[in-house]
Amino acid sequence: MELPPGPIGGQAAWVGADMAQRTDWIETFSATERAEIDAAIAEHKAAGREMGEITPETFRLPTLAPRLTRILGDIQHGRGFALLRGFDVASRPIEDSAIGYLGIGAHLGGFRSQNAKGHLLGHVKDLGLDIRNPKVRYYQTNRELEFHTDSCDIVGLICLKTAKSGGGSRIVSSVAIHDRMLAESPELWRALFNPMPTDRRGEIPPGMLPWFEIPVFNWHKGDLSTIYSGQYIRSAQENFPQARRLTPVEHAALDRLDELAAEMSLEMEFRPGDMQFIHNHQLLHSRTDFEDWPEPERRRHLLRLWLAPRQARELPPVYAQRYGDITPGNRGGIVVKDTVLRFTLEPA
């Protein structure tokens, strides 16, 4: 097991209280860029293309594309996230909003499946499902989400409608958490480099166990990559007696990671049309619980993308358990037996 030689630092090791005083992570579209997006949506529809045919070449953004390349660099090699603001969703049908969002996302990376149903365009919405069902994902409820990563390089969200109250997005630098844990408790820090059984929540690729075992912290070729879902690490302990039992030190390390994530995080409120893109390998994300509107047409609704940039960091071989192929541009996502890749405009 290779370990970092010491604190990592750098632009990625930020603390939420400091980041909250900055605005350089908010990227507002100019009038010219908004017009380009509108024209690209119209061209896509006029050509009769399917959503799956959206690529940087078909969704042309002459002025915005170079800016998106720079933003992608900030996400992958800088602070790890960006908020894109100024896209109008209020006056568009959901199909047009989805096309615009997919078009911008395509300039950042290829689309990856987000669940066993093969959804390439995810819907984050309270569907009134029972979280006690082991196949229900927390994003399908109104409950607070613990800090976690998703199974892809970059995760994107666009806000279509906000909740009556709550539902704030929280992000935190896993690099900063790593450095803090190294400084305050080397024993707990070291425990997070041990492989941890993590529940797949019923989404099991052929030939795989119902859980995967990857360390939370992974040091590989000069990069710290973090993969974490405390809820599913703990549910693996409850649901799978065959999975390795965590030690008291490992449990304490997870508890401390959760505490630091809450303490060091940045919370942002989404406005309709806001697009958030984050680098999963160096950030954890969560959401506060929320109260929704009683009217179905007003209820909180976000669309989600999982993206694989063609140029990306090399991941350690152990990630193949979760990502399948770990080749940049062709990795991440969830594919099980009989999965059919598709786009849908309805939550399901």
One-letter amino acid identity for 232? Answer: Y
Strand 217-220 vs strand 223-226: parallel, antiparallel, or unpaired? antiparallel
Question: What would the pLDDT profile of 221-274 be if each residue is shown by its tens digit?
Answer: 999 999 999 999 999 999 999 999 999 999 999 999 999 999 999 999 899 999
Are 188 and 217 spatial neighbours (Cβ–Cβ below 8 Å)?
no
What residues form DSSP beta bridges with 279? 154
Range 331-341 average pLDDT: 80
Token digits for 125?
A: 């919405």
Question: What would the pLDDT profile of 133-158 be if each residue is shown by its tens digit?
Answer: 555 455 554 555 789 999 999 999 99
Range 19-24 average pLDDT: 96
To the nearest whole percent, how much of the chain has pLDDT over 90?
74
Q: Which among 121, 137, 157, 346 is positioned nearest to 270, based on CA atoms?
A: 157
pLDDT for residue 130: 45
Alpha helices per DSSP H over 213-337:
230-239, 248-264, 320-323
Q: 105 pLDDT band (50/70/90 cuts)?
A: very high
Tell me how far CA of residue 306 lies from CA of 14, 102, 187, 218, 339, in angstroms: 24, 11, 34, 21, 16
Are 57 and 125 spatial neighbours (Cβ–Cβ below 8 Å)?
no
Q: What are the φ/ψ torsions at residue 319 (nearest 5 degrees)? A: -65, -15
Q: Using CA atoms, how far apart are residues 168 and 178, in angstroms rounded to an integer?
A: 24
Q: Which among 274, 217, 209 is positioned nearest to 243, based on CA atoms?
A: 209
pLDDT for residue 243: 97
One-letter amino acid identity for 49? Answer: R
Q: Using CA atoms, how far apart are residues 84 and 115, in angstroms rounded to an integer?
A: 25
Q: 7 pLDDT band (50/70/90 cuts)?
A: very high
pLDDT over 50 at 211, yes or no = yes
Alpha helices per DSSP H over the chain:
16-19, 31-46, 64-77, 94-106, 174-184, 186-191, 230-239, 248-264, 320-323
Per-range mean pLDDT, top range of 284-288, 306-310, 344-348 = 306-310
One-letter amino acid identity for 44? Answer: H
Q: Using CA atoms, how far apart are residues 276 and 261, in angstroms rounded to an integer?
A: 19
pLDDT for residue 324: 86
What residues form DSSP beta bridges with 224? 219
Q: Using CA atoms, how far apart are residues 199 and 110, in angstroms rounded to an integer?
A: 26
For 187, the 3-state DSSP assignment is helix
Tell me how far CA of residue 168 lies from CA of 42, 178, 300, 348, in angstroms: 32, 24, 11, 23
Question: What would the pLDDT profile of 300-319 be if each residue is shown by its tens digit?
Answer: 789 999 999 999 999 999 99
All domains of the chain in start order, with CATH: 16-173+265-314 (3.60.130.10)
pTM, entire model: 0.91
pLDDT for residue 149: 96
pLDDT for residue 272: 93
pLDDT for residue 286: 92
Q: Using CA atoms, how far apart are residues 167 and 288, in angstroms rounded to an integer?
A: 5
pLDDT for residue 298: 63
Strand 195-199 vs strand 290-291: parallel, antiparallel, or unpaired? unpaired
Higher pLDDT, 75 or 347: 75
Range 12-25 average pLDDT: 97
Q: What are the φ/ψ torsions at residue 84 (nearest 5 degrees)? A: -100, 125
pLDDT over 60 at 82, yes or no = yes
Range 105-111 average pLDDT: 97
What residues form DSSP beta bridges with 220? 223
Range 24-35 average pLDDT: 98
Question: What would the pLDDT profile of 162-177 be if each residue is shown by its tens digit?
Answer: 766 456 789 999 999 9
pLDDT over 80 at 127, yes or no = no
Mean pLDDT of all residues in the chain? 90
**Residue 187 buriedness (CB in 10 A; 0-12 / 13-18 / 19+):** exposed
Range 318-341 average pLDDT: 87
Q: How many helices (H) and strands (E) does the chain have?
A: 9, 17
